[in-house]
């Protein structure tokens, strides 16, 4: 560390040095030789009529040591957190390639999508509303009131296939007064990656959608 500031003649307080480092990793040098150079400079520039007391030097040394120890402790804790994060993600490596059951949009490429609807028990009928990536409703299907898994083929009433892309779903529960509930159903999506984001494990689904591992309610092997 290069000391670029010294106290002017007559200064009785401790000398301060400023070091510029990468803002992402502030570090205080542990080089005691540099610290001794600072003390030497301080002695050379002190007021001979009002010299710095020996106890002040002891306080400066103790402060320097305490700060150095704290920085080292912080670095150790940071390294430990990174190691634990890496260990945490390893348990989800086996999920890659499987299909996660989660309430999230899906990427449709022509492959049918398995959906687990859950209509409101008080409903008289239920509809599956399909929306594209822009949020526009592109399809409405009467799905009855069953809680059994269903398959969405992506085909329109005319038999045309919807374009490949991201789609989201909502199950609207309806009675005589109208829609009494609208909620996203659980769907199965392929897991393409597991990663750590902001210190937490995240699953990347096919098409780039991200979900927290806690949001996954089931796993299965892809249909062969």
- Domain residue ranges of the chain, discontinuous segments joined by +: 1-90, 94-220
Beta bridge partners of 190: 99
CA 83 from chain center: how many Å? 16
Q: How confident is the model at residue 198 (pLDDT cuts 50, 70, 90)?
A: confident
Of 86 and 40, more confident:
40
Secondary structure (3-state) at 69: helix
Contact 105, 190 (CB under 8 A): no
Tallying the residues shown for the chain, one arrives at 224
Q: How confident is the model at residue 206 (pLDDT cuts 50, 70, 90)?
A: very high
What is the predicted pLDDT for the residue at 58? 67
What is the predicted pLDDT for the residue at 32? 63
What is the predicted pLDDT for the residue at 44? 73
Beta bridge partners of 202: 195, 212
Q: How confident is the model at residue 67 (pLDDT cuts 50, 70, 90)?
A: low
Task: Kindly give the residue spans of alpha helices, DSSP state H, lying in the chain.
Answer: 32-44, 54-90
* Second-level CATH architecture of 94-220: Sandwich (2.60)
What is the predicted pLDDT for the residue at 96? 93
The token pair at 48 is 């001979």
Contact 214, 103 (CB under 8 A): no
pLDDT tens figures, 162-175: 999 999 999 999 99
Q: How confident is the model at residue 10 (pLDDT cuts 50, 70, 90)?
A: very low
Of 129 and 34, more confident:
129
Beta bridge partners of 128: 141, 171
């Amino acid at each position: 560390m290069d000391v670029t500031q010294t106290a002017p003649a007559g200064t009785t307080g401790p000398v301060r040095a400023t070091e510029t480092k990468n803002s992402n990793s502030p570090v205080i040098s542990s080089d005691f030789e540099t610290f001794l150079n600072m003390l030497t400079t301080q002695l050379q520039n002190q007021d001979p009529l009002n010299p710095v007391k020996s106890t002040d030097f002891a306080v400066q040394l103790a402060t320097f040591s305490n700060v150095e120890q704290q920085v080292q402790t912080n670095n150790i804790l940071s390294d430990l957190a990174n190691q634990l994060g890496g260990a945490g993600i390893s348990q989800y490596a086996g999920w890659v390639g499987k299909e996660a059951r989660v309430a999230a949009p899906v990427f449709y490429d022509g492959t049918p999508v398995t959906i687990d609807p859950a209509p409101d028990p008080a409903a008289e009928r239920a509809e599956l509303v399909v929306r594209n990536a822009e949020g526009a409703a592109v399809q409405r299907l009467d799905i009855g009131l069953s809680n059994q898994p269903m398959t969405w083929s992506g085909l329109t009433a005319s038999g045309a296939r919807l374009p490949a892309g991201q789609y989201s779903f909502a199950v609207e529960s309806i009675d005589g007064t109208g829609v009494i509930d609208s909620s996203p159903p659980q769907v199965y999506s392929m897991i393409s990656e597991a990663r750590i984001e902001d210190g937490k494990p995240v699953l990347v689904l096919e098409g780039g959608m991200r979900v927290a591992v806690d949001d996954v309610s089931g796993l299965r092997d892809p249909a062969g």
